[in-house]
Structure 1
Amino acid sequence: MKFPLFVALSLVSLFASANEPVTSNAPAATAEQSAQYDYSEDLDIAKVVRVTSASNPANPCAPVKAQMEYVDSKGVAHKLEYTRLGDACEHS
Structure 2
Amino acid sequence: MNMKKMAVVLVLGSLGSHAYADTAETKNIPVETYGYSTKLDIEHVISITEPANECAPVPVQMTYEDSHGERHVLQYQTMGTGCSN
* TM-score normalized with structure 2 length: 0.59
Higher RCO (C-alpha 8 Å, min separation 6) = 2
Secondary structure of 1:31's partner? coil
The one-letter code of the counterpart of 2:38 is E
Query: Which protein is bigger by CA-based radius of gyration?
Result: 1
The one-letter code of the counterpart of 2:34 is Y
Identity %: 40
* TM-score normalized with structure 1 length: 0.55
Equivalent pairs counted in the alignment come to 60
Mapped to 2, the partners of 1:32 and 1:40 lie a distance apart of 21
Q: CA RMSD in A?
A: 2.1
Which one of 62, 75, 81 corresponds to residue 81 of structure 1? 75
Structure 1 unaligned segments of length 5 or more: list them.
1-27
Q: Which residue of 1 aligns with 2:31?
A: 34
Structure 2 unaligned segments of length 5 or more: list them.
1-24
